[in-house]
């Protein structure tokens, strides 16, 4: 299932996931499970993509990336969703930044929250670089190729096709199921 017939972002929450420290497959699968619990339904998740690090310190390992999308819960605000994502990052071992774009076990970026526009020190919506990032557009094109992100006039699929990037990407399949503890 995808949002192919839904060209506007409407009430959809779009979150990009990334990991390049630890068992990234397991981390992303567990994070997707946690995000699915926030979804009133439907919950859409892309495949996992191995991607080259972008704007990261030299020697940074490759990332595993994915994108999920789901309708915003009634009464949910973008700022509340951001706080939830930041708490999940901490729960999965993210530490305060020492260096910009350093390796991390989990990175969750709020790409869009419906048609909401924000420009504050806490939150910029839509994500200001999402439309220029292959590691966002590739996975997002799997679940919502005809989606038009707020502030854009082209669909996700059109943005991806027009993107000139040196990013290397390889689809590595669906996330492995999370292990029971």
Active site residue 104: yes
Q: Is the pLDDT of residue 34 over 60?
A: yes
Helix, strand, coil percentages in the chain from 3-state DSSP, rounded to 5: 25, 25, 50
Please enumerate in sequence order all residues whose Cβ is within 8 A of that of 80, keeping only pairs 6 or more positions apart, or say none. none
Query: How is domain 12-173 classified at the architecture level of CATH?
Result: 2-Layer Sandwich (3.30)
Asked if residue 5 has pLDDT above 50, the reply is no
pLDDT in tens, 60-93: 899 999 999 999 988 999 999 999 999 999 999 9
Domain boundaries, the chain: 12-173
Q: Is 83 a catalytic residue?
A: no
Query: What is the value of pTM for the model shown?
Result: 0.89
Mean pLDDT of 105-110: 95
**Average predicted confidence (pLDDT) for the chain:** 87
Q: Of 94, 118, 132, 146, which one is the catalytic site residue?
A: 94
Structure tokens at 105: 């076990």
- Among residues 23, 34, 109, 115, the one annotated as catalytic is 109
Residue 148 phi/psi, 5-degree rounding, is -110, 115
């Amino acid at each position: 299932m995808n949002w192919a017939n839904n060209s506007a972002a409407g009430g959809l929450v779009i979150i990009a996931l990334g990991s390049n420290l630890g068992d990234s497959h397991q981390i992303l699968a567990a994070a997707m499970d946690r995000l699915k619990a926030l979804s009133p339904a439907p919950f859409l998740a892309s495949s996992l993509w191995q991607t080259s690090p972008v704007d990261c310190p030299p020697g940074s390992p490759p990332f595993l990336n994915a994108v999920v999308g789901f309708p915003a819960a009634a009464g949910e605000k973008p700022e509340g969703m951001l706080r939830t994502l930041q708490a999940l990052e901490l729960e999965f071992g993210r530490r305060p930044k020492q260096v910009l774009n350093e390796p991390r076990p989990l990175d969750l970026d709020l790409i869009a929250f419906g048609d909401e526009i924000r420009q504050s020190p806490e939150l910029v919506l839509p994500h200001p670089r999402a439309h220029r990032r292959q590691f966002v557009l590739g996975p997002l094109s799997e679940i919502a190729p005809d989606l038009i992100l707020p502030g854009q006039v082209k669909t996700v699929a059109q943005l991806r096709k027009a993107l000139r990037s040196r990013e290397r990407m390889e689809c590595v399949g669906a996330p492995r199921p999370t292990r029971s503890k």
